[in-house]
Structure 1
Amino acid sequence: MIETNQITKEIIDSAIKVHKKIGPGLLESVYETILMQELRDRQLKVVSQKYISFEYEGHIFKNAFKIDMLVEEAIIVEIKSLEKTLPVHSKQVLTYLKLMNLPVGLLLNFGAVLMKDGIIRVAN
């Protein structure tokens, strides 16, 4: 398996490439589809719109929530296309990480004027 920092670098590089070519203003689903292809072109395993089940105090909650992308079974990618993200968006990614017991997620806001300003790395 590829190391976490290398995976996040590939995701960020791909997001910047997509944003430079297409720009802000499209629906999240468009960015998700194109980013997924970019990542697959880089030989990364990507699953999109993945339903997640989790356990809480002995109870299993099947298909409790859906993440935008899971890359290499290790990194959650949440995609937004907003003028500005809110603190709740980062908290959402952190909660996903905790429930899935994963170390790192990326919140990518393709609505930002510059993609570098739309990247938030969230650590569990």
Structure 2
Amino acid sequence: MIENKLSKKVIGYAIEVHKSLGPGLLESAYKECLFYKLNQGGLFVEKEKPLPLVFEGVKLECGYRVDLLVEKQLIVEVKAVETLADIHMAQVLTYLRLSGCRLGLLINFNVVLLKNGIKRVIL
């Protein structure tokens, strides 16, 4: 499945989760619910996927963890913050570079209308 089609499916499930729960919960609640919905939708999803850093040919475990990796090609970073900041975008860009993925979704569930909390990040 190509990344754009996959991202549309993920966004659809995220909207379902947001409509059901609304804003105001912890990030972990949204992540768990989205993980559940994506699995129920038949997608292969890895949660809290470790992401090593390769430095000078050495693989280092630095504690990077992708919130959700969908079908081994789409990174989903879940937030529940007042507003997304540049550092959140930088985090997704770093994950894209380290993983070799080309597309990521930064989703902030702490908004009234979820479409205002979604950022597509392309490398």
TM-score if structure 2 supplies the norm length? 0.95
Q: How far is the alpha carbon of 1:99 from its aligned partner?
A: 1.1
CA–CA distance in 2 between the matches of 1:25 and 1:53? 32
Q: One-letter code of the match for 1:21?
A: S
Q: How does 1:46-85 map to 2 (within 5 A)?
A: 46-62=45-61, 64-85=63-84
Percent identity at matched positions?
42
The superposition leaves residues 23-46 of structure 1 with CA deviations (integer Å, 9 ceiling, x where unpaired) of: 000011100111011111110001
Q: Distance in 1 between matches of 2:108 and 2:82?
A: 8
More strand by share: 1
**Long gaps (5+) in structure 2:** none
Q: What TM-score do the two structures reach when normalised by structure 1?
A: 0.95
> Which residue is equivalent to 1:121?
120
* Counterpart residue number, 1:41: 40
The Cα RMSD (Å) is 1.0
Q: Partner of 1:84: helix, strand, or coil?
A: coil
Amino acid at match of 2:95: Y
Deviation larger for 5-14 or 63-72: 63-72
Q: How many residues are treated as equivalent by the alignment?
A: 123
Summarize deviations over 1:64-117 as a string: whole Å, max 9, x none: 411111000001110000111101101110011011111000000000111000
TM-superposed deviation, 1:56: 1.9
